[in-house]
Amino acid sequence: MPRHRLMISLIALLALLGAAALPSALAQTPTPVVLNVGVLDAPDSPTARGFWLAIQEAAARRTPTLPDGRPFVLNPITISRPLASLDEVRESLDAMLSAGVIAIFGPDSGTLAEESSAALATAGVPVFLSTSAQNAPTGDLIFRGQALDQLQAQALVTALSQQLVGRTAVFLRHKPTGSGAAEAFAGAARAAGILVRGGLVVETDLSNPSAASAIAARLLGERPQAIFADGAPSQVAGLYIALRERRYAGLFITPSAADRAFIEALPIELRDNIYGAVGWSYTSQTPESLSFTRNYTTAFGAVPNAVSAAAYDTTFLLIEAISRGGIAPASLAAAFRSLPPRRGVQGWLDPSAANGAISSNVSIFVTSQFGAPNVLVAYAAPEPEPPTATPAQRRAQRATTPTRTLTPSITFTPSITFTPSVTFTPSATRTPTDTPTATDTPEGVILTVIGRSVNIRSGPGRAYDVIGQFRRGAQVKLLGANVDYTWFVFNFNQRLAWITGERNLVSIFGDPRSLPFIEPPPLPTATLTPTPAPPTPTFTPQPLPDLVMLNAVLSPPIPQPGQPFTLTVTVQNQGQADAGEFAVATSFQPGNVYSAAIVPGLPAGQLTNVNLTATVPGTGVETIAIVLDLNNQVYEGPSGEANNEPVFSYRVDVPYAVQSTVQLAPSTSFDLFGGTQDINYTGTDLVPINGAQLGLLGGLQLTQIHYDMLTPSVINSVAPIPQAALPPNTLIGIYTAEGRRGVLRVVSYSGPNILLEFYIYQ
């Protein structure tokens, strides 16, 4: 078998060095210690991307230090392609350990992680797994980044109990691409009293229509009302298509439903109403999730998944553990477990968890019309114990407090619970049109409606029923909040009601984080209506409007700072009912420039163009949310409300004065623009001359560069850059001899010559 080639991510290393110690500070700070971390997967795998993004962001915030005070950076060592067998895992592990890695991430494949249990458990360095596979290795040096299959299965059965109880379920695991989630679902379903007739473990290629049809016939022979399928996206998609062709109309549940590869393998008319459980979803609206998703999509042009989020969360914990415990395996693992709980992208993380699973967060979702995962309920880990508690004390407390346990026997309680120290006193009865007012000197935390109107709901999210509405100027005293302080509880008509905390709709007087956490009520469950033949449940949708963005176009395509531009948003009502008046709005960046427009109404099936005009003060590469129904005036149902904030990416920049390419032979100087020569290529070094200055732009693509990024703190070096630091696609910022800003890109080498692409700003 040919030996795998290990690839050191030089671009990531250069980016870290550039972010952690900019050229202006090199003289004052010591050179960081480079610590190699192995990633048992390809450079563009979910784990590698999550790890890379985390070390980029960590280095940009501050340079971490070892216990002896020396700064350090993490350098990912990846492999050239995804691993396919246990032998390849062992071979790559040997090579990485020979390279002196201090820790291992991956592999992404749950099946491969299970098969490699012995090899990973005896690696001798901490191993961080982002897969949810239940049977992956455990041990003192093994850590799990997301909730395991068994926990996800229990959450799924709990959330869908009304649809599952009294019905027959079957399961299928595709071998070798499935990793045990099907068996976990079967166990949780049986424990909940659900009739599981049996299941199949098959090696048939289900992407083959005839093979998938035969397996579908075997499953349907059990006359199930629910089917759970675990396997690679292409395999599960083939099975689902075959089931639908055979007129199966019951519940279909699969972990693959959160994977875009699965959704894109289905015809568009089959992409909705598929259920699944996941450790984290990119549709999560917490501040940490929104920031992570924005940065991930900007960096990679792809949507992150639960594996990426787990690797990202784990990397920040690893960096802190290294700062506390150093790099010796035992002390590093001990330092990792001693870290206090904290909030991450997935929710609350607890590194001290006895089974090594640092996350117990699970989201249950159903796919929308276009396959996006709409979260029905999120089961979150409990808030952490006080920071004074030791890891041992936290573990002991969980062992004696069943409602706070993070083990797979977790009890899910989505109903409202009250903090004993808080007494709720119902306010006077009000009709939905009443406008509550605050006293001259308000006590507690007071919310004021500043938008035109805000809906009052039975729970924290648009999936909950609207039970009233406040107009601008209404004020209420808040009694509690959800876990991320995005929704708040108050008394309304002698019952607990919820209101959004969106800043463009409400303002809050007082400290909202002083409010107690209140558990959200269960989400409303869709009514299942059996059809005459076969007698299986179907969903009966209510005719509603559904506003979606079809397109968004900037004019000009690349706006300039200080000059007006227009974003034309094409909105369609793809629902079956007319939409009344609504507002479309966004805040353009940089500068947070707000722009909005009113649409008087939009009939079903019709579309309209909305123009949002603005002028921003600077340059940047930005991603913004376009809010299609700013004041929640149009009720669209859970799936319709979920697509009302599409994102749009664009670039604001100064125009180029010149862009071209040049091939430089050794001992050649060149004038990029302006009349004075700016650079010299010696054959081994690229040298700025005549007062020009250079600065490496590691880890970036040309489309991410803009004028305001090229500041003197980044570009201030007159030192030569060696050829070894200039592989193809390296970007270098430049100030020309005349002081103009620009970017150089190394295209390639031809013998002793270097080919450069250059862009000089006006």
CA distances from 145 to 101, 280, 332, 440 (A): 19, 11, 16, 50
Q: Is the pLDDT of residue 441 over 70?
A: no
Q: What is the mean pLDDT of residues 684-704?
A: 92
Q: What's the CA gap between 299 and 49, in Å, rounded?
A: 9
The CA-based angle 379-522-578, given to 5 degrees, is: 115
Burial (CB < 10 A; 0-12, 13-18, 19+), residue 200, is middle
Helix pair angle (46-61, 306-325), 10° resolution: 50
pLDDT at residue 29 in the model: 55
Q: Is the pLDDT of residue 387 over 50?
A: no
Q: What is the mean pLDDT of residues 83-92?
A: 88
pLDDT at residue 611 in the model: 95
pLDDT at residue 114 in the model: 84
Which class in CATH covers the domain with range 547-652? mainly beta
pLDDT at residue 443 in the model: 66
Q: How long is the chain? A: 762
Match 């971490």 to its residue by tokens.
64
370 CB contacts (<8 Å, ≥6 apart)?
Answer: 268, 271, 272, 643
pLDDT tens for 168-187 read: 899 999 988 887 888 888 88
pLDDT tens for 451-472 read: 888 999 999 988 888 898 988 8
Same fold? 6-146+283-360, 547-652: no
pLDDT tens for 88-105 read: 999 999 999 998 999 999
Q: Are 633 and 641 contacting, i.e. CB atoms less than 8 angstroms apart?
A: no
Q: What is the percent of the chain with per-residue pLDDT over 90, rounded to a whole number?
A: 51
pLDDT at residue 304 in the model: 93
pLDDT at residue 49 in the model: 94
Q: What's the CA gap between 721 and 695, in Å, rounded?
A: 9
Q: Are 118 and 133 contacting, i.e. CB atoms less than 8 angstroms apart?
A: no
SS (H, E, C) 38-57: EECCCCCCHHHHHHHHHHHH
Which structure tokens are listed for 18? Answer: 């550039």
Q: What is the mean pLDDT of residues 354-366?
A: 88
Residue bearing the bigger pLDDT, 413 or 541? 541
Q: Is the pLDDT of residue 13 over 60?
A: no
> Given pLDDT bands bounded at 50, 70 and 90, which one contains residue 388?
very low
Q: For domain 6-146+283-360, which architecture applies?
A: 3-Layer(aba) Sandwich (3.40)
pLDDT tens for 229-246 read: 999 999 999 999 999 999
Q: What is the mean pLDDT of residues 553-579?
A: 92
Q: What's the CA gap between 27 and 242, in Å, rounded?
A: 65
pLDDT at residue 382 in the model: 52
Q: Is the pLDDT of residue 602 over 70?
A: yes
The backbone region for 28, taken as left when phi is positive above 0, alpha when psi lies in -120 to 50, beta otherwise, is: alpha
pLDDT tens for 638-680 read: 777 888 899 899 999 999 999 999 999 999 999 999 999 999 9
Q: What is the mean pLDDT of residues 400-422?
A: 29
123 CB contacts (<8 Å, ≥6 apart)?
Answer: 93, 97, 104, 141
Chain mean pLDDT for the chain: 83
Exposure class string for 279-291: b at 16+ Cβ within 10 A, else e: bbbbbbebebbbe
The CA-based angle 200-201-203, given to 5 degrees, is: 125
Q: What is the mean pLDDT of residues 240-258?
A: 92
pLDDT at residue 761 in the model: 95
Domain range list for the chain: 6-146+283-360, 547-652, 656-761
pLDDT tens for 488-517 read: 999 887 788 999 998 878 888 888 888 888
pLDDT at residue 11 in the model: 36
Q: What is the mean pLDDT of residues 586-594?
A: 93
Q: Is the pLDDT of residue 429 over 70?
A: no
Residue bearing the bigger pLDDT, 27 or 193? 193
Q: What is the mean pLDDT of residues 378-391?
A: 54
pLDDT tens for 305-345 read: 999 999 999 999 999 999 999 999 999 999 999 999 988 99
pTM of the model: 0.52
List, in sequence order, every beta strand (DSSP E) within 296-444: 342-343, 348-349, 362-367, 373-379
pLDDT at residue 381 in the model: 54
pLDDT at residue 374 in the model: 86
pLDDT at residue 758 in the model: 95
SS3 content of the chain, % helix, strand, coil (to 5): 25, 30, 45
> Given pLDDT bands bounded at 50, 70 and 90, which one contains residue 721?
very high
Q: What is the mean pLDDT of residues 214-235?
A: 92
DSSP 701-762: -GGG--GGG--TTTS-B-S-EEGGG--TT-EEEEE-TT--EEEEEEEEEETTEEEEEEEEE-
Q: Which residues lie across from 173 on neighbouring strands?
A: 201, 230
